[in-house]
Amino acid sequence: MSETNADHNLNFLRHEIGNILMTVRGYAELMLLREGLDPAMRRYPEQIILAIDRATRELEQICPLPKKNPYVTPASNRAGLD
């Protein structure tokens, strides 16, 4: 079954939003790894991570991943990259 243009656009948008969410989550995780971080300040990156997790779950419900993710290159097509 071929992917329609609308499906392609939706999958691309989901992928891009997911990238943004994971970037923000990564920075929040880095903040938590910082030595000397005031325990009272840990609350903020922890809340960011919880919000990112919630947004990711909502995104997956609104726009489920296709059975074959067109944005993931199969290992067989990544010659020399492993």
**Residue 24: C-alpha distances to residues 4, 59, 77 (Å):** 31, 15, 30
pTM of structure: 0.70
Exposure string of 34-72, with b = 16+ CB inside 10 Å and e = fewer, is eeeeeeeeeeebeebbeebeebeeebeeebeeeeeeeee
Residues 5-58 have pLDDT tens digits of 888 888 889 999 999 999 999 999 999 999 999 999 999 999 999 999 999 999
Residue 73 carries which side chain, given as an amino acid letter? Answer: T
18: tokens are: 């997911």
